Amino acid sequence: MNALPLLATAGLLLSTLVATLAQCGGQAVAAIPPAQDPPAAAAPLPADSVRLLVSGSMHGRLEPCGCASGQLGGLARRMQHIGEQRNYDILLEGGDLVDGATELDVMKLYTATSILFQMEHPYDVLGVGQKDLLMPRAEWSEFVGALRTSSDSVPLVASDLVSTAPDWPARPFVEKEVRGKKVRIASLTLSLAAPDETLRLLPPAEAWATALKDADASTLRVLMLHCSDVTARALVGKLKPAPDLAVCMDPGYIEPSPNASLVEGVPLLFSGTRGRVLCDVRLSRQDGHPRVACELVPLAGSKTLPGGGGDPNVKEALLLHRRDVKEKEVLAHMMRQLPTQNGAIYVGSTNCKGCHASAAAAWEKSRHHEAWNTLVKAEADPKRYGWPVTAYPDCVSCHVVGFREQSGFASFAETPDLAAVGCERCHGPASEHVASQGKKQLGILGGVQASVLCTQCHDFEQSPDFLYLDKWKIITHGCEPGQKTKK
Amino acid sequence: MRAVILAAVCAGLVAACSDSGPGPVPQGPAKRPTLPALEHDFGIIPHGEKREHEFELDLRKLGEPIVPLRVHFDCSCGLAEMKLRHRDGRERKVDGNPSADQAASPDETLIVRLVIDTNGKEAVDLPNTPSHGFIVLQPTCDLTGNLRVNWPIKVTFGIDAPVVLRPFAAFDFVKVPLSGTGELITELRGDEAHPGLKFGPVTTDDPRVSVAIEPADDGVVLRARCQPGDLGNHRAIVSIATNLATGYSVHILATWKTVPDLEATPVSKISFLADLKRAQNAAEAAGQFVLVTDHDQRRTPEFAVHQIVAVDGRDLTKSFEVEITPIPGQERQHRLLVRYVGGLTEAVRGTVVLTKDGARGPFLPVDLVVFPKNS
């Protein structure tokens, strides 16, 4: 194990305790693993290493949704941590701050960039992920690009994207001097989520070389990669000059690893997703070789303080965002925008009952039946949220049928029969099934596996104890006697 | 049994590898088996103690080498690590690289080690609760990662703390202004199994936080006070000794943010786009506000506008209308809203300066940035 001077003192026990107490989110808390070098590097890191806080792929998770105890992450806890530490040299956010291009995503982007770049501890660099490019360019440029020429510009980096658009807000790299050492940070987006006539993608090796072209040999080179781990591992060894650190935003890595992989001598880290666990990285170079040690920073709250902890000013910003979403009626604007997956129309669970009495009876006893009421009660409880949960699209999405789909949930007043996790949430819109008197069978929506369908809502964060085989027993139901089901 | 299940799963993966043949590698998510979870119940762990468990997965019977990539716990409830243990006892770490040399050899067993350390947790009981995780496995023939399997793990544990802390097991002073102090109270007593527990002395790792122990009916009241210190975020640990033979101490995290007495939040800046050829209407300006607060209780909470000035010194008073309105339920806070009313021809950066008492101040500057926008 590497013995970092900072951690190898008597302060280790205390800092671990402080950190772990901070992360007590209710259910559980991880003991912070010790910082470790990549396997090939055994000697202690020099004390003058550069300290970076690494994260990425926030995907619009401004704060934990709160529907399970012990959830990690959120910008308020993140900025509290940064403020407490006071000695991060570089704050790095990989990109994909939001998850799409809806009106809500635009508002989230505004809030996130305000918090990350306009408050007391502004981030030093923001990469451009593929999801970022889905954002309407005018909106994106407005928030991250409008201040480009001013002193408080958002340091947006996309080394392999060349744009013909005059308002393109990204630059090929960001460089920062830390105690006399230069650190240059580049980012490779590597692919476009959708065709864009104004954007051209440079080959990664060319983009990297261009970004590093005039850098001193002593400059520490950091690369952000928006790709799978397979692509990252294949790519980093081919880049010249070799990066001193590569950070991959593979969404499959929910949490960052406490250990960097060494890929042809290049330390490779994964940023994790949703900003739940940050990566506290010490980077240096010794004898021409990069040295990296990282320590995970899980961002948790206290079980006894719902919503407690976290930077209070950031919490204010998030609360304003939530209220703004309600005042602007964003939920109503987002509803019924997309076609249903099978082209049929939602009919509501009441219509299913006539032929599927026993299944309906099983459903009515389940918490799925109460899904909308769960939101209503949570909103009414001042100890839980303190903001309009039933008006926030992210929350509503898992508590109704046909979220955003045509003929799906519109509002509780307009579509009360779709205000729950009803039959059609899993089985799909049933109009054709009803019209054909059951001859046109329904299955699992979109043909996905049941276990995958469930985890659209019961994911690792919202249902940390969810195991499909266990939970299916709770809601199990089948066909009525004499009915057949499609295999 | 586990080896049999794993063998069956991996046989499927290997078949998928074989099916792909020499042609293009199949893209998109493969249909993945729903696997029975590896399970372990740690039971109820006394607070302050640590528990470990190792899952051993015997991979020897598998025909196709499988690379264990990583292990993940959704709830961050413990430290999980993987290694490959040779039958001669040697061990090597799993580094997450899906290369053939990282595959388990026929002589190696996959060890997944879980550590639940309650030392760093709040002194709060936790009922026996399942936590979910998974091991990521990849056959060496899978060059894309599309055939990876997440093998679920289910771990159950609870925590039994010998004390009860109510209502708070952590002190969050939220904001402490420079002119003020923070104070919070919580109750501490032994739980049903530890009645009459004695507490003290109290130590803290930050002199700005102090905690007084006051006797109560069946325990003590902890009265925590916080001095502001320098501006910014802070944290401290309060430790309260007990007379338990184990030497158990109660640790409480304290957090706060020291803020100036006059504060504009969440960001001390109002920036917006406006059509400079005309005045904004009320709806356009609705979001152009910050919250301004005077935390100093010795003063009245009201603010007045002192000046609106550009960075080059120009008076911008005629170009902007400013409203300062109280916020219901927030005695010390007002909403400062700015509306552009015309007179500019280009972008402007400036400051709205609020005052508490005319030209004598004190003052609260709020940055103002306006960019031109075509209607």
Same domain, B184 and B295: no
Count of positions (residues) in chain B: 375
Q: Do A29 and B266 touch (CB under 8 A)?
A: no
CB atoms within 10 A of CB A194: 9
Same domain, B311 and B189: no
SS3 A149: coil
* Neighboring chain B residues of A22 at a CB cutoff of 8 Å: 235, 253, 255
Q: Which of A182, A192, A254 is nearest to A212 (CA)?
A: A182
Last residue of a domain, one of B120, B137, B160: B160
Cα–Cα distance for residue pair B163/B186, rounded to 1 Å: 13
Q: Do B167 and A304 touch (CB under 8 A)?
A: yes
> Could you tell me if A110 lies within 8 Å of chain B, comparing CB atoms?
no
> Which of B74, B230, B284 to substitute to test the interface with A, most A CBs within 10 Å?
B74
Interface of A with B in 353-412 (CB under 8 A): none
Same domain, B16 and B57: yes
* Neighboring chain B residues of A302 at a CB cutoff of 8 Å: 122, 168-170, 172, 253
Same domain, B11 and B154: yes
> Could you tell me if A314 lies within 8 Å of chain B, comparing CB atoms?
yes
A15: left (phi over 0), alpha (psi -120 to 50) or beta: alpha
Q: How far is B369 from chain A (nearest CA, A)?
A: 10
Phi, psi at residue A247, to the nearest 5°?
Answer: -115, 120
> Could you tell me if A120 lies within 8 Å of chain B, comparing CB atoms?
yes
Burial class for B63, CB neighbours closer than 10 Å (0-12, 13-18, 19+): exposed
> Could you tell me if A330 lies within 8 Å of chain B, comparing CB atoms?
no
Last residue of a domain, one of B217, B232, B259: B259
* Neighboring chain A residues of B157 at a CB cutoff of 8 Å: 28
- Give Cα A23 distance to the centre of its chain: 18
Q: Do B76 and A79 touch (CB under 8 A)?
A: no
Give the pairing of strands B363-372 and B320-327: unpaired
Q: How far is A256 from chain B (nearest CA, A)?
A: 10
Q: How far is A416 from chain B (nearest CA, A)?
A: 32
Same domain, B22 and B153: yes
In chain A, which residue's Cα lies nearest the Cα of B268?
A119
Task: Let me know the angle formed at the C-alpha of B96 by A52 and A45, rounded to the nearest 5 degrees.
Answer: 35
Q: Do B129 and A27 touch (CB under 8 A)?
A: yes
> Which of B76, B77, B116, B222 to substitute to test the interface with A, most A CBs within 10 Å?
B76
- For chains A and B, CB pairs below 8 A equal 215
Query: Residue B148 belongs to a domain with what CATH number?
Result: 2.60.40.10
Q: Do A469 and B169 touch (CB under 8 A)?
A: no
Q: Do A257 and B70 touch (CB under 8 A)?
A: yes
Cα–Cα distance for residue pair A46/A4, rounded to 1 Å: 8
Residues of chain A short of pLDDT 50, as ranges, are 1-42, 148-149, 486-487
Of A25, A316, A467, the CB nearest to B291: A316
What superfamily in CATH does domain A336-475 come from?
Answer: Flavocytochrome C3; Chain A (1.10.1130.10)
State residue B217's pLDDT score. 83
Q: How many Å from the N-terminal Cα to the C-terminal Cα in chain A?
A: 53
> Could you tell me if A145 lies within 8 Å of chain B, comparing CB atoms?
no
> Could you tell me if A455 lies within 8 Å of chain B, comparing CB atoms?
no
B339-365: burial string, b at 16+ Cβ within 10 Å, e else: bbeeebeeebbbbbbbbbeeeeeebbb
Same domain, B20 and B77: yes
Domain boundaries, chain A: 11-316, 336-475
Q: Which of A172, A165, A226 is nearest to A196 (CA)?
A: A165
In chain A, which residue's Cα lies nearest the Cα of B138?
A230
Phi, psi at residue A373, to the nearest 5°?
Answer: -60, -30
Are A310 and B173 contacting, i.e. CB atoms less than 8 angstroms apart?
no
Give the ipTM of the model, two decimals please: 0.86
For A241, the token pair is: 């000059």
Interface of A with B in 269-308 (CB under 8 A): 276-277, 298, 300, 302-305, 308
State residue A470's pLDDT score. 77
| DSSP class per residue in B155-208 | EEEEEE-SEEEES-SEEEEEEEETT--EEEEEEEEE-TTSTT--EEEEEESSTT
Give the pairing of strands B170-177 and B108-117: unpaired
SS3 B341: coil
Cα–Cα distance for residue pair B75/A217, rounded to 1 Å: 43
State residue A38's pLDDT score. 37
- Give Cα A39 distance to the centre of its chain: 29
> Could you tell me if A14 lies within 8 Å of chain B, comparing CB atoms?
yes
B174: left (phi over 0), alpha (psi -120 to 50) or beta: left
State residue B371's pLDDT score. 87
CA distance readout (Å), A339 to B9, B79, B143: 37, 44, 35
Are A127 and A249 contacting, i.e. CB atoms less than 8 angstroms apart?
yes
Q: Do B170 and A24 touch (CB under 8 A)?
A: yes
Q: Which of A21, A381, A464 is nearest to B124 (CA)?
A: A21
Give the pairing of strands A289-298 and A277-286: antiparallel
Same domain, B197 and B98: no
* Neighboring chain A residues of B238 at a CB cutoff of 8 Å: none
**Radius of gyration (Cα) for chain A, nearest Å?**
24
Of B37, B50, B78, the CB nearest to A467: B37
Of B96, B143, B232, the CB nearest to A120: B232
Specify the pTM.
0.87
Residue B175, beta-bridge partner list: B257
pLDDT, tens only, A225-252: 999 998 999 999 999 999 999 999 998 8
Interface of A with B in 191-250 (CB under 8 A): 228-230, 233
Are A350 and A357 contacting, i.e. CB atoms less than 8 angstroms apart?
no
- Give Cα A255 distance to the centre of its chain: 10
Q: Do A18 and B75 touch (CB under 8 A)?
A: no
> Which of B41, B81, B84, B122 to substitute to test the interface with A, most A CBs within 10 Å?
B122
Q: In which domain, by residue range, is B349 found?
A: 262-372
Same domain, B250 and B269: no
A2: left (phi over 0), alpha (psi -120 to 50) or beta: beta
Are A97 and A130 contacting, i.e. CB atoms less than 8 angstroms apart?
no
> Which of A21, A152, A153 to substitute to test the interface with B, most B CBs within 10 Å?
A21
Q: How far is B174 from chain A (nearest CA, A)?
A: 6
State residue B19's pLDDT score. 46
* Neighboring chain A residues of B333 at a CB cutoff of 8 Å: none
Domain count, chain B: 3
State residue B210's pLDDT score. 97
State residue B150's pLDDT score. 81
> With respect to CATH, is domain A11-316 assigned 3.60.21.10?
yes
pLDDT, tens only, A96-110: 999 999 999 999 998
Q: How far is A483 from chain B (nearest CA, A)?
A: 26
State residue A3's pLDDT score. 30
A237-247: burial string, b at 16+ Cβ within 10 Å, e else: eebeebbbbbb
State residue A151's pLDDT score. 52
Same domain, B96 and B169: no
Same domain, B144 and B277: no
Q: Spell out the residues 6+ positions from residue A246 whose beta carbon is closer than 8 angstroms to its own.
A: A222, A223, A224, A225, A232, A236, A263, A266, A267, A268, A269
| Amino acid identity at A27 | Q
Query: Is the dihedral angle over the CA atoms B19, B25, B26, B29 positive or is it negative?
Result: positive
Tell me which residue has tokens 């399942």. Answer: B130
> Could you tell me if A136 lies within 8 Å of chain B, comparing CB atoms?
no
Q: Spell out the residues 6+ positions from residue A414 whose beta carbon is closer than 8 angstroms to its own.
A: none
Q: How far is A24 from chain B (nearest CA, A)?
A: 6
Of A261, A314, A469, the CB nearest to B95: A261
Of A305, A324, A465, the CB nearest to B172: A305
* Neighboring chain B residues of A27 at a CB cutoff of 8 Å: 75, 77, 126, 129, 131
Last residue of a domain, one of B198, B228, B259: B259
Cα–Cα distance for residue pair B55/B3, rounded to 1 Å: 12
HSE-CB of B326 using CA atoms within 13 angstroms: 8
In chain A, which residue's Cα lies nearest the Cα of B51?
A31
Q: How many Å from the N-terminal Cα to the C-terminal Cα in chain B?
A: 70
Same domain, B138 and B183: no
> Could you tell me if A467 lies within 8 Å of chain B, comparing CB atoms?
yes
Residue B304, beta-bridge partner list: B355
Of A308, A449, A467, the CB nearest to B154: A467
Q: How far is A119 from chain B (nearest CA, A)?
A: 6
For A306, the token pair is: 């719902």
Query: Is the dihedral angle over the CA atoms A329, A330, A331, A333 positive or is it negative?
Result: positive
Q: Do A25 and B37 touch (CB under 8 A)?
A: no
Residues of chain B short of pLDDT 70, as ranges, are 1-35, 59-63, 74-77, 374-375
